[in-house]
Amino acid sequence: MEKMYFRYSPANAFMKKLSILLTKQYRPISIAALLDVFQTVNHYYQDNTGMPYFDIRLIRHPEDETVAFPDEQYLPLSHEEVTASDLVLIPAFRPGNVADFLRQNAAFVPWIRQQAGKGAEVASFCTGAFLLAATGLLNNRKATTHVTAVESLARHFPEVIVDPDVVVTDDRGVYTSGGATSTFHLLLHILEKYCNRTTAIYTAKVFAIDMDRAQQSYFANWSLPRTQR
């Protein structure tokens, strides 16, 4: 693939601190997507500027020291070891009882609030929006989640402005995405905001992502046409 070069600027002179939560019951493919995209961007910056752009940290559950390592390159850190973040990422949950998952991950809530209070932006992916909503950071903000979970999100967190149709929301430094591949659309949005459009386009090409999809309402229809049954 042909490289796309951009001018080095002072904004790239320091690494953005990225904290990815290893929640209990996280969906492995969600963590894998986050790591793959940001590692790809770091390699891209390393090739073009001589240094990576993101300092990637995996944050284990505050009450669990036995969490599985999703990537052997990283030793998960305790939340106590991470005093500041530029961006906190909350992965999707596995299929199951979200209320139980929230109880299992309640110990993350004060840490996420603390990071946001220090200036960190926070993003959730798919059903990770439930944990983000539990922090109160989504109150009076727009949010989305998987199309099959939007009604539950609105019911459990009535102060959240739930938009079931959109793929990505960005409301004053708090981000959410719809289901599955919508993760990549939010990541591209974040890359364009934190890095530049060139980096977002490069990443979209690497992962073969259509950057123009803005609606997920199409996926809310689970009935096949009669000719396909």
Write the pLDDT tens digit of every residue in 51-61: 999 999 999 98
Write the pLDDT tens digit of every residue in 103-129: 999 999 999 999 999 999 999 999 999
Q: Is the pLDDT of residue 12 over 50?
A: no
Q: Are strands 168-171 and 174-177 parallel, antiparallel or unpaired?
A: antiparallel
Write the pLDDT tens digit of every residue in 37-95: 999 999 999 999 999 999 999 999 888 766 666 777 888 898 888 989 999 999 999 99
Q: Which helix (H) or strand (E) holds 89?
A: strand 87-90
Cβ within 8 Å of residue 89, ≥6 positions away: 18, 19, 20, 21, 34, 122, 123, 124, 125
Q: Which residues face 170 on adjacent strands?
A: 175
Under the banding of pLDDT at 50, 70 and 90, the label for residue 225 is very low
Write the pLDDT tens digit of every residue in 165-211: 999 999 999 999 998 889 999 999 999 999 999 999 999 999 999 87
